[in-house]
Amino acid sequence: MVATLGYAAAQAQAPLAPFHFERREPRAQDVVIEIKYCGVCHSDLHQVKDEWGGSMFPMVPGHEIVGRVVKVGAAVKNFKAGDLAGVGCMVDSCRSCPSCQEGLEQYCEKGFVGTYNGKEKDGKTITYGGYSNSIVVDEAFVLHISDKLELSAVAPLLCAGITTYSPLRYWKVGKGQKVGIVGLGGLGHMAVKLAHAFGAKVVLFTTSAGKTADAKRLGADEVVISKDPQQMKQHLRSFDFILDTVSAPHDLNAFLALLKRQGTMTLLGVPDKDPSLKIANLIFKRAQLVGSLIGGIRETQEMLDFCAEHGITSDIEVIPMQQINQAYERMLKSDVKYRFVIDMATLKD
Amino acid sequence: MVATLGYAAAQAQAPLAPFHFERREPRAQDVVIEIKYCGVCHSDLHQVKDEWGGSMFPMVPGHEIVGRVVKVGAAVKNFKAGDLAGVGCMVDSCRSCPSCQEGLEQYCEKGFVGTYNGKEKDGKTITYGGYSNSIVVDEAFVLHISDKLELSAVAPLLCAGITTYSPLRYWKVGKGQKVGIVGLGGLGHMAVKLAHAFGAKVVLFTTSAGKTADAKRLGADEVVISKDPQQMKQHLRSFDFILDTVSAPHDLNAFLALLKRQGTMTLLGVPDKDPSLKIANLIFKRAQLVGSLIGGIRETQEMLDFCAEHGITSDIEVIPMQQINQAYERMLKSDVKYRFVIDMATLKD
């Protein structure tokens, strides 16, 4: 077994604290990774607080993992000790349903195995995530990481990056298109960078006028204050695509009104209150309201390669493991530009 | 001018009664049609009662029009006296916006000219519809009707037919697909016939067990009573496409749950109360919720030709003009299988 030190919540709402546990002895297909950095995703916070229900404790959160391979199983083909490696939101899936066969493990019909707060395919072993110094993962769910990029800033690509890359690619966002990004947080700031890199004209929607300069630095061509009806009105029926990264309850109809005929609005977050929908916004324009969930393993590798080629990483603030509870408090106030990343070298007894 | 006799509502909520008016003298591009039959659409009722706001009186409803050409303007190329002809929901549009250029006049960016309760492009002349013995329409908005089909039963194709044909075609419904149709009314019964003709496996959703036999006769392979959660549960995540023809407020989420990954649910009706949306139904399956509005002129002709080739018409009950007010009352009780069609030969002073 692989002795591991992590940070865990002992129960719902409890602060995270040091936690010793064991990873499985690597199997033939397994890669053992020494974790260097782990991004802090808003979903970590939701699950630690058991806001989505069904949380399992003790919980070691973290699914934006980068590190270095220290050991591989006998049958591992694509990784060797010393390689940089990443792990995202999934560590396994059924691998046989149509979704898995198509490389869309995120839509596995039996449910993928979450990197933490999940159950292995044995139906009982609880998974522990990346707020820890090592992880053991089947190579089919391990990603290659380029050494061209700053490793700490790559970590958030494993969730925030792929969650925005996948819909932008699936709905073919690119040159000649006007694309809106709603919200400038962890997901939104990646969406701005990626949509810009794909050649689209990017408009960032935010409620905070203070984010204007930063949005432009990140790649937005224009910033619209979404609570100003006059500004919104100027963009009526003009968008090919809108990517809504906001999970907090908000009015979808104000954005649907900005779509062109046959435009698409993609939702990434599940608010805790169901929004109401003005159906006329869809009917009179043959518009589409769609959803998207992270991305498959093959596409995650494609995204990482794209980011390496184009020099794209997340804007981050590196914190020591010991500051995770304060970081959660700051996240609740949106006080982070734009992702906390834990430096795992700070994780000691 | 063309002296015309119709039935009009003098004001909101007023019963329809005989009404004499004049159609314009035919211009060079105009076709003069002697109306033989006109279908009775639920939107006639909404507009007569001014339930959508903005109704203009006196109002001559009717946009499911079939008849025979009696005269054509000097520049008319595609019609001659004696031809069968049809007119649907539109009698003009801007003809220059991208939508019009693409043959999607229903999404005209300046707004199409409705066949009744609309304003001509002069911005002032009110349009009068098909509850009348003649109509004068630019040939660009006149359809050819095959003499292979029973003319009275063709009339509803001009609205109910194209409104269901267009989304089934646009989202490529066909062989190997499982397709749900929600509601068995004027639109729903056409959707069942068309989806069946396109080769899909058709499941009809209804709240009335009494409609089962009829739905199967029309082409449904299976009927599901949508208010029975057990029956609904058996179809979880199994539909490629669902066409929702119901305008009355109802729960969309119960149907969204039945879509497969990447499935599409298309809405045709605008309820008077905005429904709430469970976004998880979209995100965890990359599903699409979309809308669709009637169809363009080119596609309407394609639909009419398809129906002629496949012997498809509407199931109708022919009524004399004098019974229109009673017909409206019966429609409110869904007491019609499945469309009333007015026999215009009954329209006399």
Task: Report pLDDT digits (tens) over B121-143.
Answer: 999 999 999 999 999 999 999 99
For residues B293 and B88, what is the distance between their CA atoms, to the nearest angstrom?
A: 13
Contacts of residue A325, Cβ cutoff 8 Å, sequence gap at least 6: A15, A16
Which residues pair with residue A267 across a beta bridge? A244, A291
Phi and psi dihedrals of A249, rounded to 5?
-55, 135
Provide, as residue numbers in chain B, all residues whose Cβ is less than 8 Å from the Cβ of A277.
Answer: 252, 274-277, 289
Between the alpha carbon of residue A96 and those of residues A103, B158, B176, B216, the distances in Å are 10, 46, 21, 36
Do B288 and A283 lie within an 8 Å CB cutoff? no
Section B230-237 average pLDDT: 97
CB of A242 within 8 Å of any CB in chain B? no
Mutation target to probe the B interface, by most B beta carbons within 10 A, among A237, A260, A277, A299 is: A277
Residues A245/A185, Cβ–Cβ less than 8 Å = yes
Q: Write the pLDDT tens digit of every residue in A68-97.
A: 999 999 999 999 999 999 999 999 999 999
The DSSP symbol for A244 reads E
> Are B219 and B193 in contact, with CB atoms under 8 Å apart?
yes
Facing residue for A261 by CB, picked from B99, B237, B289: B99
Say whether A267 and B281 touch across the interface (CB within 8 A): no
User: How far is Cα B343 from Cα B322, in angstroms, rounded to an integer?
Assistant: 10
Q: Could you report the per-residue pLDDT of A313-335, keeping only the tens digit for each?
A: 999 999 999 999 999 999 999 99
* CA distances for A296 relative to A293, B61, B292, angstroms: 9, 53, 31
B319-332 pLDDT tens trace: 999 999 999 999 99
Closest CA to B215 of B189, B240, B191, B239: B189
- Residue B35 is encoded by which pair of tokens? 């109306």
What is the 3-state composition of chain B as percent helix, strand, coil, each rounded to the nearest 5? 30, 30, 45
pLDDT in tens, A232-289: 999 999 999 999 999 999 999 999 999 999 999 999 998 889 999 999 999 999 999 9
How far apart CA B136 and CA B25 sit, in angstroms, is: 8
Identify from A241, A260, A286, A299 which residue to disrupt to test chain B contact, counting B C-beta atoms within 10 A and taking the largest count: A286
pLDDT of the residue at A272: 85
Average pLDDT of the segment spanning A173-198: 98
Mean pLDDT, rounded, for A167-195 = 98
The neighbour count for residue B24, using CB atoms within 10 Å, is 12
Domains and CATH numbers, chain B: 2-159+295-346 (3.90.180.10), 161-291 (3.40.50.720)
Token output for B101:
């250029």
Residues of A in contact with B249 (CB under 8 A): none
A237: contact with B, CB 8 A cutoff: yes
Q: What is the pLDDT of residue B309?
A: 98
Measuring CA to CA, which residue among A228, A105, A98 is closest to residue B260? A98
Kindly indicate the confidence band of residue B234, based on its pLDDT and cuts at 50, 70 and 90.
Answer: very high
Residue entry with tokens 């033939």: A28
Q: Are the Cβ atoms of A277 and B277 closer than 8 angstroms?
A: yes
Residues A334, A184 contacting (CB under 8 angstroms): no
Residues of A in contact with B290 (CB under 8 A): 282, 286-289
B162 in A contact zone (CB under 8 Å): no
> With an 8 Å Cβ cutoff, is B277 touching chain A?
yes
Token representation of residue B314: 């509407």
- Which of B268, B276, B280 faces A276 most closely, judged by CB atoms? B276
**Cα–Cα distance measured from residue B16 to residue B39, given in angstroms and rounded to the nearest whole number:** 15
Which of chain B's residues have a Cβ under 8 Å away from the Cβ of A274? 276-279
Structure tokens at A248: 């907090």
Nearest chain A alpha carbon to B98: A261
Residues B185, B341: Cα–Cα separation, whole Å: 14
Contacts of A261 in chain B (CB under 8 A): 98-99, 104, 107, 109
Out of A99, A237, A271, whose CB is closest to B261? A99
Q: Does B52 touch chain A (CB under 8 A)?
A: no
Q: Is residue B202's pLDDT more than 80?
A: yes
Q: How far B237 CA lies from chain A's nearest CA (Å)?
A: 9
What pLDDT was estimated at residue A185?
96
Cα A132–chain centre separation: 18
Chain B contact set for A268 (CB, 8 A) = 283
Which tens digits make up the pLDDT trace of B285-340? Answer: 999 999 999 999 999 999 999 999 999 999 999 999 999 999 999 999 999 999 99
Cα(B135)–Cα(B34) distance, rounded to whole angstroms?
Answer: 7
Contact A286 B292 (CB under 8 A): yes
Integer angstrom CA distances of residue B256 from A8, A299, B277:
37, 26, 9
Q: Which two tokens stand for residue B126?
A: 């009110």
Rg of the Cα atoms in chain A:
20
Q: How far A199 CA sits from the closest chain B CA (Å)?
A: 23
How far apart are alpha carbons A249 and B48 in whole angstroms?
38
Determine the longest span between alpha carbons in chain A, in angstroms: 63
Q: Does residue A349 carry a pLDDT above 80?
A: no
pLDDT confidence of residue A348: 80
Which is it for strands B30-40 and B65-72: parallel, antiparallel or unpaired?
antiparallel
CB contact under 8 A, A282 and B291: yes
Per-residue pLDDT tens over the stretch B68-120: 999 999 999 999 999 999 999 999 999 999 999 999 999 999 999 999 999 99
Nearest-angstrom CA–CA distance, A295 and B235:
26
Residues from chain B contacting residue A276 (CB–CB below 8 Å): 274-277
C-alpha to C-alpha distance for B203 and B212, rounded to whole angstroms: 11
Reported as a pLDDT band with limits 50, 70 and 90, residue B272 is confident
Residues with Cβ within 8 Å of A97's Cβ and at least 6 positions away in sequence, in order, are A108, A109, A110
pLDDT at B349: 67
For residues A331-347, give the mean pLDDT.
Answer: 96
- Which tens digit of pLDDT belongs to each residue from A2-40? 999 999 999 998 999 999 999 999 999 999 999 999 999
pLDDT at B103: 98
For residue A284, the chain B residue with the least C-alpha distance is: B293
Q: What is the pLDDT of residue B81?
A: 98
Interchain proximity A284–B291, CB inside 8 Å = yes
Contact list, A282 vs chain B (CB under 8 Å): 267, 289-291
* pLDDT at site B348: 80
Residue type, B251: D
> Whole-model pTM?
0.96
B93 close to A (CB below 8 A):
no
Per the CB < 8 Å rule, is A288 touching B284? no
Of B154, B115, B143, residue with least CA distance to B6? B115
CB-side exposure of A313: number of CA atoms within 13 Å? 20
DSSP H stretches of helix in chain A: 42-48, 98-101, 151-154, 160-170, 186-197, 212-218, 229-233, 253-256, 280-283, 297-310, 324-332
Cα separation, B84 vs A264, in Å, equals 40
Instruction: Give the mean pLDDT of chain A.
Output: 97
Six-digit token string for B134: 């003649």
β-partners of residue B68 are B34, B84
Output the DSSP codes for B225-278. ETT-HHHHHTTTT-EEEEEE---S---SHHHHTTEEEEEEEEE----SSPPB--
Question: Is A289 in contact with B288 (Cβ distance < 8 A)?
Answer: yes
Of residues B332, A109, B324, the one with CA closest to residue B341: B324
Q: Quick one: residue B246, left, alpha or beta (phi over 0 = left, psi -120 to 50 = alpha)?
A: beta
Q: Is A278 on the interface with B (CB under 8 A)?
A: yes
Give the three-class secondary structure for B324.
helix
Chain A (101-120) residues lying within 8 Å, Cβ to Cβ, of chain B: 104, 107, 109
